[in-house]
Structure 1
Amino acid sequence: MTLDEFEALEHGAPETVTLEFIGGRLAVKPARDGDHGTIVMSVLRQCMEQRPELGLYTGRGLVVEPDRAGRVRADGALAPLGTFAGHGEWSHPAGVLMVLEVTSRDPVANQRIRSQKRDGYAAAGIPVFLLIDRDQDTLTVHSEPEGGTYRLDPAFPYGAAVEVPAPVGITLDTRPLTSR
């Protein structure tokens, strides 16, 4: 499938279907359940409390991968307020400090997040990729993108206070995740 074919298909898809294009392949992003939304809201609140000049934009379409041929919808894209004003459906990741992904109950989609999306974010130069993995009950902070991969990727169990490095510079309380 070409990028033009993907964009035509995505444009005609119903609002209830979220399509992504990564690694040259079409993917359907699973529907979010209540726990997923609660986790995203917890991270959003903590980001805004500690860094009120930033917004965690949910479902933002981002252009990723080395050749910028990937199209993904991050669960959250942390950027200065107003970063995406005037943008269309897809934005280049300039100004994005961090992306957030929360795994679903779909093992295929989760594997795509853990590998293809992670690598796409790194190739796009996004400084931090925060992965909340509900299968493993961990929060992984991928940082220092270099050569299409993240150099650092420490994982923390739910319940830990997690320092998210610069340029984000916040501490996430993951205790709310223990009940999810």
Structure 2
Amino acid sequence: MIAVRHSDSSLSELLHAFDVPDSLRAEILGGVIVMSPLMRGRHALTVDQVRRQLQAACPADHRPIGGIRYRCPATGDEPIPDLTVVPDKALDADLRFHSMDIVELVVEVGSESSIRNDREPKRLLYASEGVPLYLLVDPLLALVTLYTDPQHGDYLAHHTVTYGDPITIPEPFGLRLETAEFPAKPHRGRLRLS
């Protein structure tokens, strides 16, 4: 992961002036440009497994989709979640940025380079933006956590299961998400939870 700080309010302009290699995902999180590798094998497989299960449970006019850049005007953040569930009509516009107020659920699959951001800065960002559900899949610890009830800048409730146990995604999905086939990736070296 590469991080760049810039004190000017034009952080978004700076990011979009970069010639970011196709192999990297560049986001703005907490006033920092964060670049991390695009999905690789196990990561992409897990995202696809979650996407397929969500697709089957989505309301008829919604879909799980990845690669969308969101802009959060209050913070200037520009996350690109692994997956979001959004209404089809929100995708009709060919926008450079979307607002997080269209998002019903965010999914992040952690990796060694992203898990710290997924656990805290992104969790707090998504809660602050009022995203009702945040699903964090952590292959390093083989855990899946669903955060719910966003209030006062954080999620007030969460439920965690280990890989192999299902986790319930509430309405409008009503999904029992199966995790048994998620590929775990043991962490090399010391793992810090914060």
Q: By the TM > 0.5 criterion, same fold? A: yes
Superposition deviation, residue 166 in structure 1: 3.0
Q: CA deviation at 1:18?
A: 1.4
1:145 paired to 2:153? no
Task: Name the structure 2 match of 1:135.
Answer: 140
Structure 2 residue aligned with 1:64, among 72, 78, 91? 72
Which residue of structure 1 lines up, in the alignment, with residue 189 of structure 2?
A: none
Distance (whole Å) between structure 2 residues aligned to residue 3 and residue 162 of structure 1: 40
User: Which runs of structure 2 are paired with 1:22-171 in the superposition (5 Å)?
Assistant: 22-51=29-58, 53=60, 54-64=62-72, 67-106=74-113, 109-171=114-176
What do residues 63-104 of structure 1 show as CA deviations (whole Å, max 9, x unaligned)? 238x14111100001112232221422110122100000011
Larger Rg computed on CA atoms: 2
- Whether the 8 Å contact between 1:30 and 1:104 is mirrored in structure 2 is no
Q: Which residue of 1 aligns with 2:22?
A: 15
Give 1:30 shift.
Answer: 2.6
Using the TM superposition, give the Cα deviation of residue 55 of structure 1 relative to its aligned residue in structure 2, in angstroms: 1.1
Q: Secondary structure at the match of 2:112?
A: coil
More helix by share: 1
Q: What TM-score comes out, normalization by structure 2 length?
A: 0.83
Change in Cα spacing, 1:150 to 1:36, as seen in structure 2 (3 Å) is same
Residue-pair matches, total? 177
Is the CA contact (8 Å cut-off) linking 1:98 and 1:168 kept in structure 2?
A: no
Q: Does 1:4 align with 2:13?
A: no
Percent identity, aligned pairs only?
24
2:108 and 2:118 in contact (8 A); partners too: yes
CA distance in 2, matches of 1:64, 1:173: 31
Q: Equivalents in 1 of 2:181, 2:132: separation in Å?
A: 25
- Judge conservation of contact 2:139–2:183 (CA < 8 Å) in 1: no
Query: TM-score scaled to structure 1, two decimals?
Result: 0.89
Cα distance between partner residues in 2 of 1:33 and 1:122: 27
Matches of 1:6 and 1:64, distance apart in 2? 11
Amino acid across the alignment from 1:174 = T
- Structure 1: any 5+ residue segments left out of the alignment? none
User: 2:185 matched to 1:177?
Assistant: no
Cα shift at 1:167:
3.8
Q: How many angstroms apart in 1 are the aligned matches of 2:11 and 2:29?
A: 13
